[in-house]
A and B are shown apart, each in its own frame.
Chain A
Amino acid sequence: MDLHGLSLDPKYGGMGTPVSVGLIAFEQISRACVSTSSQIGFFAPIADMIERFCDSDLQEKFIPKIIKGEISGSMCLTEPNFGSDVGSLRTTAERQSNGTYLLNGTKCFITNAGGGLAFILARIKGAPEGLEGVSLFFAEEWLESSEGKLHNYKISKIEEKMGMHGSITCEVVYDNTIARLVGQENQGFGMMVYLMNEARISVGIQGLGLIEASLALARDYAENRKQFGKYLMDLPLYRRNFQDWETERDAFRVLMVDTISFFDIYQRLDLKKRHTEDLSEKEAELFKKASQVIRHRTPLVKYYGAETSATLSQKVIQALGGYGYMNEYSAGRIHRDSFGALLYEGTSQIQALMAMKDFIKSMMKYPANFIQTLVTSHPIGSLMNTSDFDRSLSNVNYEFRKNISALIIRCFRPELSKRVFKKEYWQEAERFDKIMIHAETLCQALAYSETLSILGLHANKDKSRGDLYFRYLKLVTPRFAQIYADWKC
């Protein structure tokens, strides 16, 4: 199966399909085997990074080989003492007279580090501390010499993990590794953020694959096993639980596919912009909208997909009774594998903090607007809406705004008469500490709201989709109530 080149440019031997097609195929692979999807995920995305950020000689040399499955790559960020805190990395880079750099340091938890190619974050000697001093480098694992192939960096360890055994997680040692600078010095983090966003959306897709795999296994079991004279699926509690799980799967799939669609536009136009800096007026508008949606959605889909796959894959072990605990069935493996998505590319809690930061940032940009919207979004205004879905969504959105406003006012304690409309007031850093403990519940509420909004849009276009909208609303209504109760604590 020639999967690696599905969405890569035909001039390198790819099929040139839209990214949406490649990502749906990636979901299918994740459903079949999430470990394999992690390995496959370091072919086409590495080619995309080379096409987007590297010079044409590297593009011509490596992208055709990636498409043929001969070589792949890795993204090397994490170090033994620095994970999420990328700005504290200690791998160094020293410029040589021929323009290349020598890298020294150690990276850990690197998926597919033995693929042959590597994008590596390091700090050039003398560069500023923190993220502003981080640069991105490209290195090959092997160097050609008169004595044959020589190691340019070494894999010192393959980690033994609780799950995802098919995905190769490595420790890498750079000892005077020869590397090329990608982009400009000290601009590495921006490029890495691009890749991390793509990777986080891919993790959301892996989550969907895991959910589909788990529930298909459970459905097959429940439709064939009889207890108390009935098939499990016909037992009321079992059926009710199952309906809830499948509702969440179907709703999350809708969120994910809508995100994939925006990501396709964002990624395609980003590539055009980087290479030609020439977007038409329509393309510029599309790019702006897609960029905003992707920025907002990325932490939400990563969080929601990873958390839901871990939760539902555990429920499926229970749904299979004792068999779920036996290795004869794959429920246990799928659950073990689901933990990876909770951790890599930023833990769920990191995603929640990112979502909160973005939300507060957009709110404090125009605090007066936010407060005014609370008044204008009162459900009384929605009585004019003709659609049931619009009216229902309007209520959900109003409740969300009312409750988040109450939380913000409680945490920030603004002096209403004096400073609440001033931007500077909201930018005082110490006020954020109070709200951070609610980041995870805010992320959940944002994910549910976003999903409902898309389901509502679909239902407005096609009435047959209304059933999923109302099933999902029923599922998340008690969750919203719980979240709002948490915000009052």
Chain B
Amino acid sequence: MNYYSDSSEWRYLFKNAIDWENIIPLYKLAFPTSDGFLDQKELIQFYEDLLTSTGKWTGEILTPRAKELDQVGGGYLVDGHVEISEVLQKTY
């Protein structure tokens, strides 16, 4: 399950409902960028690729951890500080 690429709504809104025309110039002053993006289209495609990766990771790796995290908790108290549980630590 990919929480980004499996959702036509998310793909549509990412491309059409975010004001990229005004947002991109606030982050990238000119093209090509120092990190090698030739134009805005290529940069937006890169952001979309990133969300496809996070969508796959959240759908396939993080979701199955939720039940265990609910059972064991996020951490426990040791001498006035918090030790993070093993299952939460995996996500950090």
Residues of A within 8 A of B (CB): 1, 3, 6, 10, 15-18, 20-21, 24-25, 28-29, 31-33, 35-36, 39-40, 69, 113-114, 141, 151, 154-158, 165-168, 170, 212, 250, 253-254, 257-258, 260-262, 264-265, 268-269, 272, 283, 286, 330, 333, 337, 458, 461-462
Contacts and interface: CB of A to CB of B under 8 A. Distances in A.
A186 to B, nearest CB: 31
Given A25-B51, A29-B62, A250 B16 contact: no
Interface in B45-68: 47, 50-51, 53-55, 57-59, 61-63, 65-67
Given A18-B24, A257-B13, A458-B17, A165 B69 contact: yes
A113 B4 CA distance: 32
Interface of B: 3-4, 9-10, 13-14, 16-19, 22-24, 26-27, 35, 47, 50-51, 53-55, 57-59, 61-63, 65-67, 69-77, 80-82, 84-85, 87-88, 91-92
A94 B77 CA distance: 29
Nearest to B17: A257
Top 9 A-B pairs, shortest CB-CB distance: A114-B82, A154-B80, A166-B69, A33-B66, A32-B62, A28-B58, A32-B58, A168-B74, A32-B63
Contacts of B70: 35, 165-166, 333, 337
A155 B69 contact: no
B13 A268 contact: no
A74 B69 CA distance: 20
A399 B80 CA distance: 57
Main SS class of interface, B: helix
B80 A462 contact: no
A151 B24 CA distance: 43
Contacts of B61: 1
Main SS class of interface, A: helix
A248 B19 CA distance: 23
Contact of B54 (A1, A18, A157, A330): A1
A113 B62 contact: no
Contacts of A10: 35
Nearest to B1: A216
Contact of B23 (A3, A114, A168, A264): A264
Nearest to B85: A166
A21 B13 contact: no
Contact of B73 (A166, A333, A458): A166
20 contacts: A17-B50, A20-B23, A21-B50, A21-B51, A25-B58, A28-B3, A28-B4, A32-B63, A33-B65, A39-B91, A69-B92, A166-B73, A170-B82, A254-B17, A258-B17, A261-B19, A261-B23, A264-B18, A272-B26, A458-B17
